[in-house]
Structure 1
């Protein structure tokens, strides 16, 4: 049995502490900035000692941003709701379409299956600007421009390939003999898929859904071009903080805190599924 020396434990603890501080420092600094005014933020040298204020959060919640040029109306909370709705709906549609497709690609080998799967994956690799112009013209002609349905449809370019390829690996890891034994007992294909395959791949589906939600939440370019102000997510709505009188750093920091809160809370809630799912997906054979 290997023993760890006290010196090694101390060095390991110091290394872990340094890594945590390195990655957490920007988040902590942004959090502190959200309780400061622009004057406090821009002072030289910077200091962690300041008088906290809630004016930044009040401005975001009330929709009234005070600038040197006067009061500016913003719709940050609506943008936050748009992000939540678009990301949730996009992931729901992506799971509804992607999970059965992933099962088909993982279990059924048919002519051209790998080519089709790779083509779907290539949509994830393609630069968004490559499809924005034709999509804009196409959506204007069919009436989907500046609509939630149109945005959810476009978000499938982000969500669907990710779900398809991640979940496919989990279905391939499930021994096919389990499903064959259930089918021999007289159960239908759909019953086997619903009662055997889906529960066994549950952690992988949860992990894929969480990652897809984060990617959809962070999208910027699609909503910037294809949506008006009342349907834009928080990533685009944050541009309102860049005003003619300057950048409102306090409101930007408060907006970042509020915008990452849903994904952070979701990650904490689903971390067991995420770790378990990614761990299972990493073991092949």
Structure 2
């Protein structure tokens, strides 16, 4: 028994090291200069510096070619705005749609749902060219509204299909009993169905936020530097004088903090939502 516990502890430790070591190394890089990062062989002994974080916060990056202005904090704000607004809109549209697909049977219902899901699997490059042309005609190119709209290709199918499963797992008899008491369909939906699927909705919303936050291609093509999120803004650290690895590492650390904080805050709902319905009686 003791030997099995030792092996189990070693296995867990190896898994943690495998997954957490890249994050640990990025964190160390964010406190090093480019010379320390590129030296061979690499070493854990170095003098920590906050210059990388100072450059990101101040917006001024000192390179061999001179002083470079960067807009990292503005890009970070763009990521928060685009991801939050996209997920909120996807929840407003996706949760009622998921309920309709779960509770009602209508012609071509499954085909419509599968078509929505296919948007999530389609390569972004497949739709970028026609979308860019349409956005120019509609005046949505290089706008927050246009990016939030196009982010629905990421968020809406994910929320629709995940939340639909939780509505299907919840028994409709509770809603019928509530409506027999004289309550409307809308009150049954908001007071009974949504609370029952609440953990699943929270899990779907968190996953959609992470996918929207990590998106790169749509904002790269359809937005200018003023509207681009942090994933695209990181390209500013690839300069003519070289790649600023320290600033890139610091930008990675700062950019994962919002999603990490959100995941830690919602971890109870995330675990409950992802495990809901895993065992059916």
Above 0.5 in TM-score? yes
Q: CA deviation at 1:49?
A: 1.2
- List aligned pairs for 1:114-125, cutoff 5 A: 114-125=110-121
Aligned residue among 141, 147, 156 for 1:160: 156
2:19 aligned residue: 23
Cα offset, 1:281, TM superposition: 3.9
Distance in 1 of aligned mates of 2:278 and 2:82: 30
Tell me which of 120, 125, 131 is aligned to 2:127. Answer: 131
Per the normalisation by structure 1, the TM-score is 0.98
Task: Give the counterpart of 1:248 among 241, 244, 249.
Answer: 244
Aligned to 2:191: 195
Q: Distance in 1 between matches of 2:40 and 2:260?
A: 32
**CA distance in structure 2 between the partners assigned to 1:26 and 1:41 by the alignment:** 14
The answer on whether the counterparts of 1:106 and 1:171 sit within 8 Å (CA) in structure 2 is yes
Partners of 2:277 and 2:123 lie apart in 1 by: 27
Quote the offset at 1:284 in angstroms: 4.2
Kept after mapping to 2: 8 A contact 1:64/1:73: yes
1:157-204 CA-to-partner distances (Å, cap 9, x unmatched) read 000000000000000000011111111111100000000000010000
Q: Which runs of 5+ in 2 are unaligned?
A: none
Aligned equivalents of 1:242, 1:218: Cα separation in 2: 19
Distance 1:281 1:137 in 2: 43
Pick from 89, 92, 100: which aligns with 1:96? Answer: 92
RMSD: 0.7
Note the C-alpha offset of 1:283: 3.2
| Equivalent in the alignment of 2:40 | 44
**Per the alignment, in what secondary structure is the counterpart of residue 68 of structure 2?**
strand
User: What whole-Å deviation, never above 9, does each CA across 1:192-248 have from its counterpart, x for those lacking one?
Assistant: 000000001000000000000000000000000000000000000000000011100
Asked if the contact 1:204–1:281 (Cα under 8 Å) also holds between the matched residues in 2, the reply is: no
Instruction: Find the aligned partners of 1:175 and 1:272 in 2 and give their Cα distance.
Output: 23
**Aligned partners of 1:71 and 1:231: how far apart in 2?**
23
Task: Name the CA distance, whole Å, in 1 between partners of 2:246 and 2:181.
Answer: 64
Aligned residues: 281
Q: Where do 4+ consecutive residues of structure 1 move more than 6 Å?
A: none
**Which segments of 5 or more consecutive residues in structure 1 lack a partner in the other structure?**
none
Aligned to 2:181: 185
- 1:108-145 deviation line (CA, Å, top 9, x unaligned): 11111000000000000111001100000101011100
Match of 1:60 among 32, 56, 59: 56
SS state of the match for residue 140, structure 2?
Answer: coil
